[in-house]
């Protein structure tokens, strides 16, 4: 392989690796700020690269706020015995989520633990 092609190839590989690292980092989330949110599960989006759920949480004044939470990839959850049906059965029911909040102050977070309506938990 010619030196110029080799350098170009190495550059492409390093850019791809840094892009993948940035995508899988926790940079958008403040890991020092974890919250517990209890609310009604309204939506489950079970797809790669991360599952997303939406929950409606009632505030102290009775107002409702919609929160979006992301978690691991579906394959990672399946390896731990957590499947899509478990989430689908909980739609419309109240559950609790432990999450780190988005740094930008939006109602978005990375879910670390979920407690389902039957009391079972999943990391």
For 24-61, what is each residue's pLDDT tens digit? 455 789 988 899 999 999 999 999 999 999 999 998 89
Percent composition of the chain: helix, strand, coil (DSSP 3-state, to 5): 30, 40, 30
**pTM here?**
0.76
CB 52 within 8 A of CB 69: yes
Sign, CA torsion 119/87/37/97: positive
Q: What percent of the chain has pLDDT over 70?
A: 79
Domains of the chain, with CATH numbers? 28-122 (2.40.50.1010)
């Amino acid at each position: 392989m010619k030196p110029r092609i080799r350098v170009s190839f190495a550059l492409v590989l390093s850019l791809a690796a840094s892009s993948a690292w940035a995508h899988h980092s926790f940079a958008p989330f403040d890991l020092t700020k974890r919250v517990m949110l209890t609310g009604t599960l309204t939506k489950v989006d079970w797809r790669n690269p991360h599952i997303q759920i939406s929950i409606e949480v009632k505030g102290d004044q009775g107002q409702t706020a919609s929160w979006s939470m992301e978690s691991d990839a579906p394959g990672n959850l399946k390896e731990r015995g957590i499947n899509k049906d478990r989430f689908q059965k909980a739609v419309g029911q109240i559950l609790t989520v432990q999450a780190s909040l988005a740094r930008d102050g939006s109602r978005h977070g990375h879910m670390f633990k979920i407690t389902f309506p039957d009391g079972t938990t999943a990391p």
